[in-house]
Amino acid sequence: MEEYVKKAEDLLQKVFTNTLWRQSQCINLIPSENTPSVFVKFLEISDPAGRYAEHKKAMKRERKLLAESRALKDDQIFYYQGTDFIHFVEQKVNEEFGKYIGATEVESRPVSGQQANEVVFKAMVKFLNRTPDHAMCSQTGRMTCVMNNELTYGGHLSAQPFGALFNMVEGDSVVNFPLNKDNHYLLDADEMCRLIEEHKPPLIVFGKSMFLHPEPVAQARKCVDDLGLNTVIMYDAAHVMGILGPFFQDPLKEGVDVITGSTHKTFFGPQRGIIAANMDRKSPLRKLWLDINSRAFPGSLSNHHLGTLTAMLMACLEMNAFRPAYQKAVVDNAKAFAQSLADFGIPVEGGKDRQYTSSHQVVIKVSDFGDGKEIAALLEDNNIITNYQALPDDESFINPSGIRLGVSEMTRFGMDKQAFHTVAGFMADVIKDKKPVKDAVKTFRKDYLDMRYTFAKDRFTGMLRSIMEAVLPYKKDFSAIFS
């Protein structure tokens, strides 16, 4: 017993040290990360974290048979008892996220962005096989072709044949978006339309992990409609979910059929995935939406992590409450950060004529100063956390020449344009001169520890304490632990 007590003690100490380092001593610039608010964190550890709530849409016959049963909630059959609260939470998540994204339909059960993509891909195969069109559905039942962003040019692995598209598309029948010859972070919309006409893909997947500028969604929509194709246009918004709207891009308004993504990057929720669309009963794609539902459960998951689902509802409330100010601050800070890095002599990708970025991301080229992996490690040694990145002209990820940065987390901790100018100076010292700045970074971070764009804690202090008391298995332990 003593051996395992010591192991537990060691684990708790390491968790404390790591949390203190990342939350109060580092400048966190990885664009795929964010820190949830105290409210989101509290709800993640509430009772639903250990519960189950599998459910599916009831067929007409099932609804008649279960009309008087508590297993039927609205049109859903639930397979566990004690799920009234979870049903309420899920309905509210769908409602609030639908309000945020401008969607009539939301599937909130996926537990990651990659799983959300896989759900849609599976649903597309099922949908196409309902009435096989061999121009879009091969003899093996797979999609004949998918158009997407190439991995080395910023595409995400979840939309690649070796990722979530595995076994969903015939062979390697993927057509990559053509790039703008003057700026490889932009797509060539005219050439894209030519390729759409040539290949007639059943599915087009926009979205990237290296995501600096909006995608040509409206052009693709017009091209597909003009050609009379039944192509489904999908937008993987994982990285930009939290800035969709007037300050970046509004994909549903521009013509995409379905949006997927994770909920913990620019959208400051827990780590989950989500799918949204406008496919109500009048939509010609209604059956695709039903297939998305069924490929979520039972196709890709059973229980859907109810603690983070509950936390997601709180994140949606925060996002809808603080959206305009947060989104504007993120985009403005990214542009200012990019310009400051350039002013300090660090080459910035994305095009100066486009202010280098339109999103939360900034991409720098560090090959003049060393290998991207080594530079990222050196920055980490100085408490600046970044993400090394292969750039469009790199041969592979093995020798990356770039570093990918994101401003959303530190924006939420109160950093403004001037603060990011200071951060750019720290980075230039490390990258160009290999100068140690760790102590300066730790001192600087002390001024940015209070989270913005969340509700005032003093309004809910009593309720947070009550939740913690309820979560603890023995209330008598509460005072001893937190006194």
Tell me whether residue 322 is in a domain. Answer: no
Q: Is 274 helix (H, G, I), strand (E, B) or coil?
A: strand
Report how far Cα 342 is from the mean position of its chain's Cα atoms: 28
Q: pLDDT tens for residues 277-326?
A: 999 888 999 999 999 999 999 999 999 999 999 999 999 999 999 999 99
Cα separation values, 49 from 304, 417, 471, Å: 10, 38, 10
Q: Which domain holds residue 476?
A: 455-483
Q: Where are the alpha helices (DSSP H) in 344-450?
A: 372-381, 408-412, 417-433, 438-445
- pLDDT at position 457 is 84
CA nearest to 361, candidates 454, 265, 449, 273: 265
Answer whether residue 481 is part of any domain.
yes
3-state secondary structure (DSSP) of residue 392: coil
**Burial of residue 386 (number of CB atoms within 10 Å: 0-12, 13-18, 19+):** buried
* Type and span of the H or E element at 464: helix 457-471
Examine the pLDDT at 331 and tell me if it is beyond 70: yes
In percent, the amount of the chain with pLDDT more than 70 equals 97
Domain-embedded: residue 182: no
**Element (DSSP H or E) covering residue 101:** helix 84-101
| Residue 466, in any domain of the structure | yes
- Distance set, CA 370 to CA 83, 253, 364, 375, 430 (Å): 55, 43, 12, 6, 11
Q: Mean of the per-residue pLDDT values for the chain?
A: 93
Determine whether 305 is exposed, middle or buried from the number of CB atoms within 10 Å of its CB (0-12, 13-18, 19+).
Answer: buried
| Confidence band, pLDDT 50/70/90 cuts, at residue 474 | low
Minimal CA–CA distance to 277: which of 313, 252, 250, 248?
A: 252
The candidate with the shortest Cα–Cα distance to 215, out of 288, 154, 165, is 154
Q: How many domains does the chain have?
A: 1
467 in any annotated domain: yes
Whether 476 is in a domain gets the answer: yes
Higher pLDDT, 39 or 473: 39
Q: In the prediction, which pLDDT does 384 show?
A: 98
pLDDT at 483 over 60: no
**268 is a domain residue:** no
| pLDDT above 90 (res 415) | yes
Averaged pLDDT for residues 385-406: 91
At 34-57, the pLDDT tens digits run 999 999 999 999 999 999 999 999
Tell me the C-alpha distance between 337 and 105, whole Å: 36
pTM: 0.94
* 105: three-class secondary structure by DSSP: strand
Q: Within a domain: residue 475?
A: yes
